[in-house]
Amino acid sequence: MHSPALEGNLAQPVIRRLDALRQLSERGIALLQRAILEGLQRAGQGEDLANEGDPVDSVRIILSGWLCRFKTLEDGRRQITSFILPGDACDACVYLLSVMDHSIGTLTPVIYADIKRPVFERLLAADQSLAQAFWCETMVNSAIQREWTVNIGRRIALERVAHLLCEIHERLRPVGMIDGDSCAFPVTQIDLADATGLSVVHVNRTLQELRASRLITLRDRTLTIMDLRGLQNIALFTADYLHTKRCG
Amino acid sequence: MHSPALEGNLAQPVIRRLDALRQLSERGIALLQRAILEGLQRAGQGEDLANEGDPVDSVRIILSGWLCRFKTLEDGRRQITSFILPGDACDACVYLLSVMDHSIGTLTPVIYADIKRPVFERLLAADQSLAQAFWCETMVNSAIQREWTVNIGRRIALERVAHLLCEIHERLRPVGMIDGDSCAFPVTQIDLADATGLSVVHVNRTLQELRASRLITLRDRTLTIMDLRGLQNIALFTADYLHTKRCG
DNA sequence: CGGCGGCAATAACATGTGATAACGCGTGAA
DNA sequence: TTCACGCGTTATCACATGTTATTGCCGCCG
C-alpha cells in the first residue's frame, strides 16, 4: 500500500475514467495523482460517508469499492438514486450546495481520496483539462440520473432490472473492472429493490426470470452476463446516455 | 417588446433565480442582461427545441413559458424527466457533452435567449459570480433529478402527484410567478402522467382525490393550492433539496 | 457447540395501477 | 352549422407488483 508502485495503481481507475471523458494533460495527471495520494482514506462496508443535512467541504474520489447515493423518507422507505463505482468522483461539485440533500453509503470496503475544497479548486484552476474532465463527469452523472428516472418511471420490472445490470456493466468496463463477461456485484437484492423502486420479493422474481432466460448468472456477489445482446434488448438499453466517447 | 423597459423586465426571472442562488455582481447582471437581449428567440407551443441525438452548441435561458425535458423509448413510452420553468437555464453546460441524450419540448409559447457556446464561456470567464451561479443552478437541477427518482421510485400515486405540485409551486415562487395561492399550470394530464410515471387515467383519479380532499383546485390551466401544508404532508415534501437559500 | 442475523427463495394473498373503451365538452376549421 | 380533435372524465376488467410470512442457508461469535 505504501510502495509508490501500488499507490500509482490505486489512482488508475480515476485517471482512466476522466481521461476517457476528456484527454488529460500529463501535468494534470501528475497533479491529480498527487492530490489523491495526499488524501487517501478508507471506509468499511456498510458505513455512511455522508448523511442528508451534512455540510459539504470536500470532494471524494473513489479508488476502489462500491457506494450508493440514497434518500430516505420519514417512514423508512428508501430509494437509491445512483451507484458510485471505482473511478467516480462523489460529484466534483456538490460542495457548491454546501449541504447534502442525500446520503452516501458504502456497499463494500472502500478506498477513496478526500480532497478538501480549496485543494480541489486549486487543482481545477491549475489544469484546464482536469477541470473540464470533472465537469464532464458531473454532466454524465446528470445524464445517468435522467435515465434512472426513465427506467423507474416507464420500464416494467424485468426491463428495469435488466437495464440496471446493463448500465453497471457498461460503466465498469472503461475502468477495467470487467473480467470476461463477469464482474463483481456486491449489491444485495434489497439494494437492487431500493435502486429500481421495486419490492425485494419482486426483484427476486425478476432475477429468477432473467436466470431462466439464460441471460445472466448472479451468485456469490458475482454477476455474469451470458447474453449481453439479449439483456440489452430486453432492457431497451442504449449506451448513448453514458457519453462514453470522449465528449466536447 | 422592443422598448428597453420591457426588455429589462424580460430578464427579471433569470436574474432573480440566479441571484437567489449566488449573489450576482452588478457587472455580472449587466453582462448577462446584454447577452440575453442579443440572443432573444421565440418558440411556439408544442415545439421541440432539441431532440435526442442533436449536437449541442448553445445554452438556452428561459425568459417566459414552460418546457419539459423528456426521453422516449423505442415503443413510444415517454418519460418527462424535468420541467423547465421561467428563469431556468437549459443546463448551462450540457454542451460539455456535445450531443443531446434527451429532448426538450415546449408546453407553452416560450421566449428564451439562445447564447452560443463561445459567448457563454466568455460570460462565465468575465464574471465569477455568474459562473458560480450557473454551476449552482446545474447542481440544483441534479438535486431535483435525484428527488424525482425518489418520487417515482418510492412514493405512491397520490404522494407522487402531490409532491410534483409542491415542487413546482416552490420553484415558481422565487421567480415571482405565484399569485396568492394560484399559479399558471399549463400541464395536461398526459404530461403529468409522463412526469410521474403513471397512466393518464390514474393521474385523473389521483387529481380527483386531491380535489375531494380540498387540497387543490385545478381548472383551465390554473392550479390553486388551497391547503399547502396539507399537500406537503401528503407528499412527504420538504424543500431542502431545492437549495433555495443562497448556497456556498 | 448453539444461537443469531443477514440474505435468498417461495408461497399465498391483497391491491394499486394499467389497459381499454366510451362519453362529454370545448375549440377551431371547413 | 357540422365535423374533427384534444383533453378530461368515468367505468370495467386484468394484471403487475406489493405485502406478509415461512423456510433454509451460511457465516459469525459467544
pLDDT at site B2: 46
User: What pLDDT shows up at residue A247?
Assistant: 59
Taking contacts as CB-CB distances below 8 angstroms, the residues of chain A near B138 are 138, 142
CB contact under 8 A, A140 and B97: yes
Cross-chain Cβ contact A247/B147 below 8 Å: no
Long-range pairs of A204-212 with CB within 8 A, sequence gap ≥ 24: A205/A157, A206/A157, A206/A158, A206/A160, A206/A161, A207/A161, A209/A158, A210/A158, A210/A161, A210/A162, A210/A165, A210/A234
Out of B79, B98, B236, the one facing A153 most closely (by C-beta) is B79
Identity at B98, one-letter amino acid code: S
- For residue A165, pLDDT beyond 50: yes
Indicate yes or no: strand C within 7 A of the C-beta of B210.
Answer: no
> In A3-92, which ranges are continuous DSSP H helix?
4-10, 12-21, 26-38
Q: Does the CB of A136 have a partner CB in chain B at under 8 Å?
A: yes
| pLDDT for B245 | 75
CB atoms within 10 A of CB A16: 15
- pLDDT value at position B185? 98
pLDDT for residue A8: 60
Q: What is the pLDDT of residue B136?
A: 93
At residue B94, the pLDDT reads 72
Pick from A98, A139, A148: CB nearest B248: A98
Mean pLDDT value across residues A127-151: 96
Q: A66 pLDDT band (50/70/90 cuts)?
A: very high
Residue whose C-alpha is closest to residue A16's, from A172, A132, A145, A182:
A172
DSSP letter assigned to residue A175: T
Tracing cell 481521461 back to the chain, one arrives at A19
Q: What is the pLDDT of residues A201-235, one digit of tens each?
A: 999 999 999 999 999 999 999 999 999 999 999 99
pLDDT tops 90 at residue A158: yes
* Domains of chain B (ranges, CATH numbers): 4-146 (2.60.120.10), 155-242 (1.10.10.10)
A103 touches B at CB < 8 Å? no
Residue B90 has a pLDDT of 87
Chain B residue with minimum CA distance to A98:
B248
Q: Does pLDDT of A41 surpass 60?
A: yes
Q: Does A152 touch chain B (CB under 8 A)?
A: yes
Q: What secondary structure letter does DSSP report for A240?
A: G
Q: What's the pLDDT score for residue A6?
A: 54
Give the pLDDT of residue A7. 58
Q: Which nucleotides of C are covered by protein (CB under 7 A)?
A: 6-12, 16-21
Share of chain A above pLDDT 70, in %: 95
Instruction: Give yes or no for residue A3 having a pLDDT over 60.
Output: no
Q: What's the average model confidence in pLDDT over A158-176? A: 97
**In terms of DSSP bridges, do strands A182-184 and A110-116 run parallel, antiparallel, or are they unpaired?**
unpaired
Q: What is the pLDDT of residues A191-204, one digit of tens each?
A: 999 999 999 999 99
Top-confidence residue, B8 or A2: B8
The answer to whether A137 and A92 have CB atoms below 8 angstroms apart is yes
**Pairwise CB contact (< 8 Å): A135 & B94:** no
Q: Which of chain A's residues have a Cβ under 8 Å away from the Cβ of B236?
A: 73-75
Average pLDDT over every residue of A158-174: 97
Q: How far is B169 from chain A (nearest CA, A)?
A: 19
Give, rounded to a whole angstrom, the gap between the first and last alpha carbons of chain A: 36
Nearest CB to A247 within list B79, B98, B102: B98
pLDDT score at B7: 58
Q: CB contact, 8 Å: B146 with chain A?
A: yes
For the cut 60, the answer to whether the pLDDT of residue A248 exceeds it is no
The list of chain B residues with pLDDT below 50 reads 1-4
The grid coordinates of residue A211 equal 436466470
Place of cell 418520487: B151
Grouping H, G, I as helix, E, B as strand and the rest as coil, residue A245 is coil
C-alpha A95/C-alpha A99 separation (Å) is 7
> In Å, what is the separation between the CA of A47 and the C1' of C4?
22
